């Protein structure tokens, strides 16, 4: 009899693990504290409209991921050209930023970029960057930092850039660029890339929303005898000789034996469950405003980033540019994201920001007026982003060292590894964990994932 596996969390990584492990013949139980599967990548359905919890899509240069998606969806996965933008100085620009737009910017900004370029040639900075600000300034210059990267990051994280680790920039730029042959490691690479011929980049998306991915995995898991318990969570573990022997599952006070536990829920929750020392690892929450609109989109960008601090949202995405089936004919949806922490006013009362969001949509020319809006639904998404503060590496290492004293515990996925990643990376991670379990080993290389060649394709969340 193969070992019994407990997977905590039914998100991208947890559901992929459940699929792969049941396929390999392992008895699997998946726990999900919410009443639906999907985790941070789920779809909200309302009255003929649907919205994902952000602009989710599949893109990978790993043939194993592509083959896996074909295995799950067969011919039911639509390929769509990717097109995203950034809004600043009152206008929209393609993202990744095309250097050819620089001469079109105000003379002061164009001159600043030119001076920064010359400084990098004649006075290169060889110091090691200590934080996000120093990293971006060193790579792209003070002008682009002040124009784009700096204000957006402070708006998004709600923290000074001096408190953010350089790794946030490294992982964020890779994820925003998405295609591996687009180089953004320096100002000169941006210029070189911008002068090359442009080719369309295709992303893949389920017709009925990203939750279709989880639903198909669920059906396979259940058919193979796997178990998925919704509205359940681990209350405590019984540990003997540095191994988890039993898990107390609530509600119901179920005491179950497992041979291996894979934790894909937030890493701070497993530390709390095991009564370990608290650590300074912070997650950022998201509130989404899912807006039903009449007519058709005014711009053909799938998602757009907003730099201006006076605009209350960081990013939005257009549902019908992912799938025409996301709204009735003659209508479309905008999913508007606002980042926050628990206790922030917008988290406690999302509705209070609605009028400000509507005014901003008019200001950025996405709608002409409130009469185009039919309805707005607010959704709260907890612990959506790990925040890489300057001390996060040490805090993460100390925490993982303590957790991995438990021999049959494995951390995985975006929140379990405190990993700023894409869905595709979580799928790759699930493949790795499955291989490790089959081979009876455990990998613990959980820092610098974005620097591994197979995990370097990215999306600017």
User: Encoding tokens for residue 185?
Assistant: 């490691």
The stretch 325-343 carries a mean pLDDT of 97
Tell me the C-alpha distance between 93 and 87, whole Å.
Answer: 6
Q: Average model confidence (pLDDT) for the chain? A: 88
Percent of the chain with pLDDT over 90: 71
Going along the chain from its start, the domains and CATH numbers come out as 5-81+210-280+389-455 (3.50.50.60), 95-199 (no CATH), 282-383 (3.90.660.20)
- Give the model confidence (pLDDT) of 144-195 as tens digits: 889 888 999 999 999 999 999 999 988 776 544 434 444 445 555 555 555 5
Q: How confident is the model at residue 119 (pLDDT cuts 50, 70, 90)?
A: confident
HSE at residue 426, side-chain half, CA atoms within 13 A, is 33
Tell me the C-alpha distance between 118 and 458, whole Å.
Answer: 30
**Phi/psi of residue 94, each to 5°?**
-60, 140
**Phi/psi of residue 311, each to 5°?**
-90, 120
Q: How confident is the model at residue 97 (pLDDT cuts 50, 70, 90)?
A: low
Tell me the C-alpha distance between 345 and 368, whole Å.
Answer: 28
Tell me the C-alpha distance between 449 and 26, whole Å.
Answer: 27
Tell me the C-alpha distance between 424 and 128, whole Å.
Answer: 30
Instruction: Report whether pLDDT(445) > 60.
Output: no
- Report the pLDDT value the prediction gives residue 319, as an integer from 0 to 100: 97
Place of tokens 């409130």: 370
- Report the pLDDT value the prediction gives residue 178, as an integer from 0 to 100: 37
Range among 84-88, 110-114, 209-213 rated most confident:
209-213
Tell me the C-alpha distance between 153 and 93, whole Å.
Answer: 18
Tell me the C-alpha distance between 320 and 326, whole Å.
Answer: 6
Of the candidates 320, 325, 301, the residue with the CA atom closest to the CA atom of residue 207: 325
The stretch 109-116 carries a mean pLDDT of 78
- Give the model confidence (pLDDT) of 59-80 as tens digits: 888 899 999 999 999 888 888 8
CB 288 within 8 A of CB 43: no
Question: What 3-state DSSP class applies to 381?
Answer: strand
Of the candidates 350, 355, 342, 326, the residue with the CA atom closest to the CA atom of residue 44: 326
User: Which contacts of 241-246 are long-range, i.e. CB under 8 A and separated by 24 or more positions?
Assistant: 242/405, 242/406, 242/407, 243/406, 243/407, 243/408, 244/406, 244/408, 244/409
Enclosing H/E stretch for 306: strand 303-306
HSE at residue 284, side-chain half, CA atoms within 13 A, is 21
Place of tokens 């240069």: 61
Report pTM. 0.91
User: Encoding tokens for residue 159?
Assistant: 């923290």
* 3-state SS record for 308-361: CCCCCCCEEEEHHHCCHHHCCCCEEEEEEEEEECCCCHHHHCHHHHHHHHHHHH
Tell me the C-alpha distance between 348 and 80, whole Å.
Answer: 37
Instruction: Report whether pLDDT(224) > 80.
Output: yes
- Report the pLDDT value the prediction gives residue 193, as an integer from 0 to 100: 55
């Amino acid at each position: 009899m193969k070992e019994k596996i407990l997977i905590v969390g039914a998100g991208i990584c947890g559901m992929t693990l459940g699929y792969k492990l049941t396929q390999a013949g392992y008895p699997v139980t998946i726990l999900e504290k919410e009443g639906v599967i999907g985790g941070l990548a789920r779809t909200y359905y309302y009255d003929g409209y649907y919205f994902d919890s952000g602009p989710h899509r599949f893109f990978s240069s790993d043939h194993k991921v592509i083959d896996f998606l074909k295995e799950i969806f067969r011919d039911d996965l639509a390929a769509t050209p990717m097109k995203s933008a950034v809004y600043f100085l009152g206008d929209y620009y393609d993202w990744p930023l095309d250097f050819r737009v620089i001469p079109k910017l105000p003379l002061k900004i164009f001159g600043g970029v030119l001076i920064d370029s010359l400084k990098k040639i004649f006075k290169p900075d060889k110091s090691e960057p200590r934080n996000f600000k120093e990293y971006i300034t060193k790579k792209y210059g003070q002008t682009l930092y002040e124009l784009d990267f700096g204000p957006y990051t402070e708006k998004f994280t709600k923290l000074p850039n001096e408190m953010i680790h350089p790794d946030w920039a490294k992982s964020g730029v890779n994820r925003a660029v998405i295609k591996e042959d687009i180089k953004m490691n320096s100002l000169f690479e941006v210029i070189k890339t911008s002068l090359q011929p442009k080719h369309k980049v295709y992303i893949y998306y389920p017709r009925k929303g990203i939750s279709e991915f989880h639903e198909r995995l669920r059906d396979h898991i259940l058919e193979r005898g796997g178990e998925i318990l919704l509205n359940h969570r681990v209350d405590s573990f019984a540990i003997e000789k540095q191994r988890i022997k039993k898990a107390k599952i609530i509600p119901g006070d179920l005491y179950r034996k497992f041979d291996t536990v894979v934790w894909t829920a937030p890493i701070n929750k497993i530390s709390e469950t095991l009564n370990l020392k608290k650590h300074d690892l912070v997650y950022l929450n998201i509130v989404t405003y899912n807006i039903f609109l009449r007519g058709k989109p005014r711009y053909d960008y799938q998602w757009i980033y907003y730099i201006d601090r006076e605009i209350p949202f960081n990013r939005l995405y257009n549902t019908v540019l992912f799938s025409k089936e996301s709204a009735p004919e003659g209508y479309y949806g905008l999913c508007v994201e606002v980042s926050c922490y628990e206790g922030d006013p917008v988290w406690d009362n999302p509705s209070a920001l609605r009028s400000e969001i509507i005014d901003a949509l008019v200001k950025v020319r996405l709608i002409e007026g409130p009469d185009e809006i039919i309805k707005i639904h607010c959704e709260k998404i907890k612990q959506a982003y790990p925040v890489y503060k300057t001390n996060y590496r040490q805090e993460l290492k100390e925490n993982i060292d303590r957790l991995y004293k438990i021999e049959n515990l494995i951390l995985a996925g975006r929140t379990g590894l405190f990993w700023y990643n894409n869905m595709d990376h979580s799928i790759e991670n699930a493949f790795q964990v499955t291989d490790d379990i089959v081979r009876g080993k455990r990998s613990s290389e959980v820092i610098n994932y974005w620097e591994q060649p197979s995990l370097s394709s990215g999306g600017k969340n």
